[in-house]
Amino acid sequence: MKHTFFLAAAMTSCLAISPLSAQTETDQKDNLSVSQPAPTSPPVAEKRAHSYTHHGITISDPYHWLKDQSYPVIDDEDVLDHLKAENAWFEAQMAPFKADTETLFEEMRARIKEDDSTVPQKDGDYLYWSEFEEGSQYRKHYRKPAAGGDAQLILDENALADGLEYFRLGAMSVSDNGRYLAYAYDDNGSERFTARIKDLETGELLDDVIPETLSSLIWLKDDSILAYSKVDDNWRVNNVRLHTIGTQVEDDVEIFVEEDVTFRVGAGLSAQDDWLIIATGDNETSEVRLVRADNPTGEQIVVKPRQKGVEYSVDVRDEELFIWTNDDHINFRLAKASIDAPGAWETVLAGSDNFYLTGFDLFKDFMVTEGRLNGLDQIQIRSYDAPLDATPIEFAEASYDAGLFNNPEYDMSKLRLSYESMVTPDSVYDYDVASGSLELLKQQEIPSGYDASLYTTERLAIEARDGTMVPVSIVYRKDRDQLNGGAAGPLHLYAYGAYGYAVPPGFSTTRLSLVDRGFAYAIAHIRGGDDLGRRWYLQGKLNERTNTFNDFVDVGRGLVDLGYTKQGMVTASGGSAGGELMGAVINQDPSLFGAVAAHVPFVDVLNTMLDEDLPLTPGEWQEWGNPITSKQAFAYMLSYSPYDQVSAQDYPPLLVTAGLNDPRVTYWEPAKWVAKLREVKTDDNSLLLKTNMGAGHGGKSGRWNSLYETAEEFSFLLWQLDKAKKVKVQTSDESAD
């Protein structure tokens, strides 16, 4: 049984390192004091002479000082005062639109079922689920005996978060015997989690405290040992450790350590829980080890030694290995091998130019392969005896997001699935493998009302400048023309475009606050994601990175040409690497956009990739290139790095966010970018920077705090398009009445 329910912190897509702020939580509550007058002009960052030279090229960087030189401690008063001044300017500029923000927040909140719960799922002797109570920010986690009995509260996130400015639950894992709950939490946004163990029979916390984790929590050897990974001072996860209940953490045994600074380590259990699988790798190369779960300090089996450019993952069934790998096809194949000859791989499913195999799961009587065909999700049931004969799970809509969801047991006759589209709310199904029938267990409720018949979704293909056809998913109201007085209305364009992450065409209740005001909402499936296969991803990284930016601009221009909107009425948003995208496209084609939101944007690309002392930088060279050793990589990165390419031109209104404790994109990247834009740009458009002084990469924690930040973003976009007060439409909840 797979008892690890979820892991909040991903092991990839990390762009920077984790700051350890010297401020207290009280100090970090930044922003305007009630006694301070509102500023009447934006802060202007001081320019301090600083330059660097690589490959014979000297670059001036007068805002370098905004990177606290005591980092990872952040205690430079000049830096902190500047960030607080930016926050004060943000508050002052948004103050006239406070009522609009509150209106948006309340309508977004009204679409959320406050006392909501997940569908219970059997795992061993218990059914597990979680609930939100009305008004609460965080979940409560429950279980009850599958054979019948009372519900038991096993973890209350609200109690854990009490008194904290930030709280995030990470890994959570119940022991096989059902007695112990291991969980990890982050209380400052730095993604350095503390693991604790709770005795579910007594309700007491054990004395065991494991600090500085960033991993799954895996029960082994009769539930007496917990496997985990510790993050080091440089925010690297390069190890697997064993903690025996009741012993000192200092005595924990390290069973694997990775020496290559570019690799990261993760671990999990095999399908039958009999093998601990230890995986290490970077963005293009993998290596996997196996060790018996009942003897985790025993001999480790290396499945196949690492080979640059070869990725693979492994699961085990009845001493037979199943391997997902790109060793002979860019879109991956499925192979198998015996435990005695783990490197002798025999093809089960050959790689395909048309079908992109994204993963597989092993169950007792069948296996499941997942992938994408023409960019759309596929779930296929296959027998072990005839794996080439696939039974696809069919879905009715032309564009959707679907996949396996919470299937913890090896012996299952029904599979739990998730499904949604841009017009269909998040839905949970059970799929009966024998009969092929789908049973809807739950669909996301929208208390204020939602009528799907008011909306339509399309899947378009727009030609980029190099002739490549870029998919676009779009949703809008059927009466959009009337809402906009018969003219082309505003359109919001979103994308990510990095690390092979495909943005799914899923449902969003917050999105309705734009769509019900006459917006179309489009997702550009640009290169850099793997929407159309692995090659689609490779065509947006390293020396082809600018395809990503060109695709986004060309999609925006194409939507204008098709009449979905007009130039200057396109709003756009993206975060992290998607924030880098925002910076690049407004440098390239600023007149296209009416307003842009860039969240925790990775915009100081060249400086970050040049700083090998930033712990995550070496691991990112495979994604972006190494400008230290390669003059070509240096020049190419310089040509698109948003901070370096800011120029004297008009820019669209811009909202930028940052997190002081962000472990992925350090706060100084957006701070430097905004400072340079203020200096150089030739327009009077709004430029706002909001830094969360007590949070990290994902912004504020808690469902209402996070929702309010979305309302702020939308309020900014509507303000800039002057839509907030000029457009009053019949919203979906009114239509439902």
Task: Name the DSSP class of 636.
Answer: H
Sign of the Cα pseudo-torsion (214, 237, 598, 655, in order): positive
Query: What's the first-to-final CA gap in the chain, in angstroms?
Result: 46
Task: List strand residue ranges (DSSP E) for 7-133, in order.
Answer: 20-21, 51-54, 57-60, 73-74, 121-123, 126-131
All structural domains of the chain, each given as residue ranges with its CATH number in brackets, are: 446-569 (3.40.50.1820)
State the Cα–Cα distance between residues 203 and 712, nearest whole angstrom.
40
pLDDT of residue 296: 97
551 vs 221 pLDDT, higher one:
551
Set 176, 551, 662, 733: catalytic member: 662
> Please, which pLDDT band fits residue 516 given cuts at 50, 70 and 90?
very high
- Tokens 């669209």 -> residue: 652
- Cβ neighbours around 227 below 10 Å, total: 28
737 is catalytic: no
CA distances from 715 to 94, 95, 558 (A): 9, 11, 26
Q: Is the pLDDT of residue 1 over 80?
A: no
pLDDT by residue (tens digit) across 563-580? 999 999 999 999 999 999
Contact 379, 343 (CB under 8 A): no
Query: What's this model's pTM, rounded to 2 decimal places?
Result: 0.89
Tokens, residue 104: 């948006």
- The arithmetic mean of pLDDT across residues 497-519, rounded, is 96
Q: Is the pLDDT of residue 241 over 60?
A: yes
Q: Is the pLDDT of residue 95 over 80?
A: yes
- CA geometry: angle 279, 663, 584, nearest 5 deg: 100
State the Cα–Cα distance between residues 366 and 282, nearest whole angstrom.
31
The contacts of residue 15 (CB under 8 Å, 6+ apart) are: 576, 577, 602, 608, 616, 620, 664, 665
> Which residues are registered as beta bridge partners of 359?
370
- The arithmetic mean of pLDDT across residues 492-503, rounded, is 97
Set 313, 644, 697, 701: catalytic member: 697
pLDDT by residue (tens digit) across 606-626? 999 999 888 678 889 999 999
State the Cα–Cα distance between residues 518 and 566, nearest whole angstrom.
13
117 is catalytic: no
Q: Is the pLDDT of residue 6 over 60?
A: no
Which of the residue ranges 123-132, 174-183, 704-713 would you say has the lowest mean pLDDT? 704-713
pLDDT by residue (tens digit) across 422-458? 999 999 999 999 999 999 999 999 999 999 999 999 9
pLDDT of residue 35: 54
Question: Residue 624's closest CA among 611, 606, 639?
Answer: 606
- The arithmetic mean of pLDDT across residues 359-376, rounded, is 96
CA-CA-CA-CA torsion for 262, 263, 264, 265, nearest 10 degrees? -160
Cis upstream peptide for 37 (omega within 30°): no
Report the amino acid identity of residue 329.
H
- CA geometry: angle 366, 371, 376, nearest 5 deg: 130
662 is catalytic: yes
pLDDT by residue (tens digit) across 386-432? 999 999 999 988 889 999 999 999 999 999 999 999 999 999 999 99
Set 215, 576, 686, 732: catalytic member: 576
Question: Residue 645's closest CA among 583, 688, 687?
Answer: 583
631-640 and 546-561 helices cross at what angle (nearest 10)?
Answer: 30
CA-CA-CA-CA torsion for 126, 132, 133, 139, nearest 10 degrees? 80
- The arithmetic mean of pLDDT across residues 471-492, rounded, is 94
- What is the percentage of the chain residues whose pLDDT exceeds 90? 84
CA distances from 46 to 450, 675, 688 (A): 50, 9, 17
State the Cα–Cα distance between residues 527 and 471, nearest whole angstrom.
10
- What is the percentage of the chain residues whose pLDDT exceeds 70? 92
734 vs 270 pLDDT, higher one:
270
Computed over every residue of the chain, the mean pLDDT equals 91
> Which residues are registered as beta bridge partners of 230?
213
State the Cα–Cα distance between residues 700 and 705, nearest whole angstrom.
6
- The arithmetic mean of pLDDT across residues 83-108, rounded, is 97
Task: Name the DSSP class of 47.
Answer: P
pLDDT of residue 232: 86
pLDDT of residue 166: 86
Q: Is the pLDDT of residue 16 over 60?
A: no
- The arithmetic mean of pLDDT across residues 101-126, rounded, is 95
Tokens, residue 314: 């492994």
Contact 94, 715 (CB under 8 A): yes
Contact 415, 402 (CB under 8 A): no
> Which residues are registered as beta bridge partners of 157?
none
State the Cα–Cα distance between residues 364 and 351, nearest whole angstrom.
25
pLDDT of residue 384: 97
pLDDT of residue 531: 95
